[in-house]
């Protein structure tokens, strides 16, 4: 008998080009495969959130400036975005299971290097390797779900996938806080190693091997080069634009040929991106294998889903980046206390992620995504009106975090499903890698937008506060403002405890500390207000997503029923 006849269980789950190779896999193993996929994506999500919580401590221990510390968080995104499309294409050819296991292994090696780092460059080397490993893992997760699950099963699978992302993002701060408070931040990377070992151990027996479109002929080498240049330059430019100037070089930085270095780097990135698009279209016309299938953008569900995902990245980064800075530097909470507070978001995400499936069945995926973004925007607006330089409204912070988690759970549970609904299984690897790449560009844009807004708002608020009744010389006020802004607020506790200030009267010390807290809090709340507006724009965009296609789901179910009937007759 052929493999199709011998495996009725799998014929109802995967098409021929994506069917697992080797022995038939029982249905229960397909659901175990979902567990493996959820664990694989969780480690990527947890890694970023854990590092955010531990960043103030890492800055102190490794003696890093805010700009250097920012690169610990963002270099991962740069490498991730540069290699996603390439590894997604290779995974389609060699097998997604092989690529996932290789990526998890590489990710673990990077975590080991980061755990042992004693300075900036070893830490960046570890993050570089982790970024490469993450780029190998990410495309295999979505494409594997797309291949293994159809119809109503796909709704449940993507809801589980989205819930795993939301819960991982929310639970990671507690894990990071525990390690940072009671041990060392280095254990956040050793935790990565332990988790990756579990993923490999479960992937080997339970994750079926699936394939996408094979590479016919030579590998698209020039497409690979252009994609790396394009996305690395664009991501780098977005990250460091606020540090060097977007057009002309800022004071204290060197210009390149009369312009800021960022201008030239972004120009190279845009030129490379245009060249990449031209090359991929030319290869498509000639019928040759290529790195990207640009025809995927003819599906409104796909390109609009990508846009909404990028918008969501900008808004969501505003919370996970800004709130820990406020809680630790203004309210004086520890990393563990910060993690516990942020974990409230996980409770909301767990609730909404679990209820997303019946919500979709009662309405449609488009409505669920819109509702999620709207709730996120409302909760961010709540932070804008709640956060103050004291702890008098801490209870409301828990409320807004829980509400934000509910919105995050709804949005993340079904956005990927909506974006991938029209994509053929043979193109799923390319589509998922392209969607992830756009998401990483959104992350870099988030860093640029949120970081630039925070710096701008802080410069508008802090000097004015310090000049209000303290009698500080202009030069001293500027120096204090610079120290606070460059350290993203981590200098505030040190300034309050400085020997010079301790020689001042108690009333002056209290007034000085209050002005610092007020100025920093004003910068944070104004930036959160911007993030809230961006999330609201994401909700509006979600209204234009195509409605759920009942006909396609019915056709898929008919195909599955026919396949099962044929196996029974055989």
| pLDDT: which is higher, 548 or 559 | 548
Indicate whether 11 pLDDT > 70: no
Q: What is the pLDDT of residues 346-376, one digit of tens each?
A: 778 777 767 777 887 788 878 888 999 999 9
Indicate whether 428 pLDDT > 90: no
Indicate whether 214 pLDDT > 60: yes
Mind listing the domains of the chain with CATH numbers?
3-213+293-459+522-546 (1.20.1250.20), 216-292 (no CATH)
Cβ proximity of 91 and 140 under 8 Å = yes
Q: State in Å, rounded, how far the first CA of the chain is from the last one.
A: 9
Q: What is the pLDDT of residues 534-549, one digit of tens each?
A: 999 999 999 888 865 5
pLDDT band at 14 (very low <50, low <70, confident <90, very high): very low
Ramachandran region, residue 151 (left: φ > 0; alpha: ψ -120 to 50; beta: rest): left
What's the confidence (pLDDT) of residue 565? 38
Give exposure, 518-538, as e/b (b: 16+ Cβ within 10 Å).
Answer: bbbbbbbbbbbbbbbebbbbb
Q: What is the pTM of this model?
A: 0.75
When pLDDT is averaged across residues 441-465 and rounded to a whole number, the result is 84
Indicate whether 114 pLDDT > 50: yes
Cα–Cα distance, 53 to 283 (Å, whole number) = 45
pLDDT band at 288 (very low <50, low <70, confident <90, very high): confident
What's the confidence (pLDDT) of residue 477? 82
When pLDDT is averaged across residues 440-450 and rounded to a whole number, the result is 79
When pLDDT is averaged across residues 396-415 and rounded to a whole number, the result is 85
pLDDT band at 3 (very low <50, low <70, confident <90, very high): very low
Return mean pLDDT, the chain. 81
Indicate whether 562 pLDDT > 60: no
Cβ proximity of 555 and 493 under 8 Å = no
For 75, the 3-state DSSP assignment is helix
When pLDDT is averaged across residues 446-459 and rounded to a whole number, the result is 86
Closest C-alpha to 319, from 291, 290, 299, 342: 342
Cβ-Cβ contacts under 8 Å for 475 (sequence gap 6 or more): none
When pLDDT is averaged across residues 320-348 and rounded to a whole number, the result is 81
What's the confidence (pLDDT) of residue 27? 52
Q: Give the sign of the dihedral formed by CA 379, CA 382, CA 383, CA 384.
A: positive
What's the confidence (pLDDT) of residue 274? 95
Helix %, strand %, coil % of the chain (to 5): 80, 0, 20
Closest C-alpha to 482, from 232, 252, 217, 181: 252
| pLDDT: which is higher, 266 or 64 | 266
pLDDT band at 29 (very low <50, low <70, confident <90, very high): low
Q: What is the pLDDT of residues 471-485, one digit of tens each?
A: 777 788 888 888 888
Between 210-224, 252-266, 423-437, the lowest mean confidence (pLDDT) is in 423-437
pLDDT band at 560 (very low <50, low <70, confident <90, very high): very low
When pLDDT is averaged across residues 327-346 and rounded to a whole number, the result is 80
What's the confidence (pLDDT) of residue 570? 36
């Amino acid at each position: 008998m052929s493999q199709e006849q011998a495996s009725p269980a799998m014929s109802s789950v995967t098409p021929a080009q994506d069917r697992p190779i080797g022995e038939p896999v029982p249905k229960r193993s397909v659901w175990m495969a979902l567990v493996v996929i959820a664990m694989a994506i969780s480690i990527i999500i947890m890694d970023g959130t854990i590092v955010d919580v531990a960043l103030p401590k890492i800055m102190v221990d490794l003696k890093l400036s805010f700009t250097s510390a920012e690169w610990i968080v963002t270099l991962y995104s740069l490498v991730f975005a540069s290699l996603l499309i390439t590894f997604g294409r290779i995974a389609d050819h060699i097998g997604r299971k092989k690529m996932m296991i290789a990526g998890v292994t590489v990710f673990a090696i990077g975590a080991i290097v980061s755990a042992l780092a004693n300075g900036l460059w070893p830490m960046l080397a570890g993050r570089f390797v982790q970024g490469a490993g993450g780029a190998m893992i990410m495309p295999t997760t979505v494409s594997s779900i797309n291949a293994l699950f159809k119809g109503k099963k796909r709704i449940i699978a993507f809801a589980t996938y989205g819930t795993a992302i939301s819960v991982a993002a929310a639970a990671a701060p507690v894990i990071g806080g525990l390690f940072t408070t009671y041990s060392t931040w280095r254990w956040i990377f050793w935790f990565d190693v332990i988790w990756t070992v579990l993923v490999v151990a479960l992937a080997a027996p339970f994750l079926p091997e699936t394939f996408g479109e094979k590479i016919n002929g030579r590998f698209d080498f020039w497409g690979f080069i252009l994609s790396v240049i394009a996305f690395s330059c664009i991501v780098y430019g977005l990250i460091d634009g606020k540090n060097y100037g977007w057009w002309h070089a800022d004071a204290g930085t060197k210009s390149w040929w009369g312009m800021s270095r960022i201008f030239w780097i972004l120009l190279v990135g845009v030129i490379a991106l245009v060249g990449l698009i031209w090359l991929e279209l030319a290869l498509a016309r000639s019928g040759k294998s290529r790195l990207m299938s640009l025809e995927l953008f003819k599906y409104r569900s796909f390109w609009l889903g990508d846009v909404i995902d990028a918008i969501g990245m900008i808004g969501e980064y505003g919370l996970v980046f800004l709130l820990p800075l406020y809680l630790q530097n203004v309210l004086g909470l520890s990393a563990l206390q910060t993690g516990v507070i942020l974990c409230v978001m996980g409770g909301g995400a767990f609730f909404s992620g679990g209820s997303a499936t019946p919500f979709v069945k009662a309405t449609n995926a488009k409505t669920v995504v819109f509702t999620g973004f709207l709730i996120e925007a409302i909760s961010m607006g709540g932070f804008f009106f709640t956060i103050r330089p004291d702890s008098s409204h801490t209870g409301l912070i828990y409320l807004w975090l829980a509400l934000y988690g509910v919105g995050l759970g709804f949005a993340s549970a079904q956005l990927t499903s909506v974006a991938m609904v029209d994509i053929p299984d043979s193109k799923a690897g390319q589509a998922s890698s392209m969607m992830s790449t756009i998401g990483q560009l959104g992350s870099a844009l988030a860093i640029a937008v949120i970081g630039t807004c925070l710096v701008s708002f802080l410069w508008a608020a802090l000097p004015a506060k310090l000049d209000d009744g303290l009698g500080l010389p202009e030069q001293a006020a500027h120096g204090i403002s610079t120290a606070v802004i460059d350290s993203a607020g981590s200098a505030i506790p040190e300034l309050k405890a400085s020997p010079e200030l301790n020689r001042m009267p108690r009333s002056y010390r209290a007034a000085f500390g209050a002005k610092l807290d007020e100025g920093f809090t004003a910068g944070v709340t104004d930036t959160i207000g911007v993030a809230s507006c961006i999330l609201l724009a994401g909700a509006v965009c979600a209204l234009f997503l195509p409605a759920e296609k009942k006909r396609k789901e019915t056709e898929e179910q008919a195909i599955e029923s026919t396949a099962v009937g044929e196996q029974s007759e055989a």
